[in-house]
Amino acid sequence: MLGADRKRFTLVLAGLATLAVITMIGVVVARTVGDDRPAPATATGSPSTSPSASTSPSPPPGADVTGPLNLLLVGVDTRVSVPGWEPHADAVLVLHVPAGLSRAYLFSLPRDLVVDIPAYEAAGYPGGRTKLTHAMSYGSRVPDQPGQPDPAQGYDLLHRTVSGYTGLRIDAGAVLTFGGFDKLVDSLGGVDIRVDQRVVSRHRQPDGKHREPGPGVGGYVGPQMVYEPGDRHLNGWQALDYARQRYLPGGDYTRQRHHQQLIQALIGKILDADLARQPDRVEQVVAALGDALLYVGGRRIVDLAYALGELPQQAVTLVGLPGASVGRGSAYRGEELTAVGRRFLTELHAGRAEAFLTEHPQLRVAS
């Protein structure tokens, strides 16, 4: 259980994303990628004082990671029942940790955010302006291997797209599937969430079984799980189910808020158990999650988790970026952030996020 707790913390700090919520279906993601080489873009290191051997104890993992850090967490919609299904980014979250690693800001980008996706030669994608979620699927295409998408390749195009839109350098990231998130929460012993509005599930029955497909596109039949307002303890499938519902007042923006609240709850459990200071546990969990997790970064996942291990839960600020639908007439094209939402990204990049949130307290999401 400790290993899984620890891993959850790493995912949050590696990315955000939804879901981790964060909503992810199925399975596709491949391997854990990480090595021991230092990454100048992600950390400030101290030069070696001497080339000669030393009897001094080795520094702890990530001791040279001082920030700032920008970590991307992606919740992937994969459907193993559909041959060749391309992974979609169903949840995209970013965790920004300023220099000093004493506070952090977690925000979501709408999956349907209309963005410029750059050309990507590896996938044969010419570039275009479309929904953010498609960056993962377009980038995952392997021209000479139809029907065999590469999630790591998809993440690469997604992270380039997110970086281009936000102006933030992405230092590391993680992709997690629905199945991986479910397993992760259960390994933590569940999570405690304050349900802020009544949520009726479209996907699950009260006993956790999936509802049967009904007539029409996307319809289901059968009894529905209901999450009533109040303090609730949720297991893996319940946490995932609660966080992925978007047919609610507020739509996808409400779902983004639930993503963030869930991630913060998971961070709290991990920090309470001091798991971020147990490097061996991280490696165990990464191995246990297997295909459900893809980690991409210049630094080892252990280094980042250890470096962020003393970040207080109350120092993680959840930020809700306001947006609105865009389109011509009745034709829905996607979402766009309002001027205030876009300005937050500018101020975050400039190191003035706290002052901006003081001026716009409505952007802070209650945990």
CATH number of the domain residue 210 falls in: 3.40.630.190
Residue at 42 is within a domain: no
Residue at 51 is within a domain: no
Average pLDDT over residues 46-60: 52
The confidence score (pLDDT) of residue 246 equals 83
Residue at 102 is within a domain: yes
Residue at 142 is within a domain: yes
Residue at 283 is within a domain: yes
d(CA 136, CA 172): 16
Paired strand residues for 327: 332
Count of H helices and E strands in the chain? 10, 17
Please answer whether residues 37 and 48 qualify as being in contact, where contact means their C-beta atoms are separated by less than 8 angstroms: no
Residue at 227 is within a domain: yes
Residue at 207 is within a domain: yes
Paired strand residues for 115: 130
Please answer whether residues 314 and 360 qualify as being in contact, where contact means their C-beta atoms are separated by less than 8 angstroms: no
> What is the DSSP code (8-state) at residue 101?
S
Q: Which residue has the tokens 């001497």?
A: 50
Which residues have CB under 8 Å from 55's CB, separation 6+? none
Please answer whether residues 307 and 63 qualify as being in contact, where contact means their C-beta atoms are separated by less than 8 angstroms: yes
d(CA 139, CA 92): 15
Greatest C-alpha distance within the chain: 73
Which residues have CB under 8 Å from 82's CB, separation 6+? none
- Looking at the structure of the chain, the number of domains it has is 1
139-198 pLDDT per residue, tens = 999 999 888 888 889 999 999 999 999 999 998 888 877 667 777 788 778 889 999 999
Residue at 52 is within a domain: no
56-103 pLDDT per residue, tens = 567 666 778 888 999 998 888 655 446 677 888 888 999 999 998 889
341-363 pLDDT per residue, tens = 999 999 999 999 999 999 999 99
> Encoding tokens for residue 33?
């990628």
d(CA 108, CA 20): 11
d(CA 309, CA 352): 24
Could you list the residue range(s) of the whole structural domain that residue 203 is in?
2-37+62-363
d(CA 199, CA 257): 13
Residues, the chain, total? Answer: 367
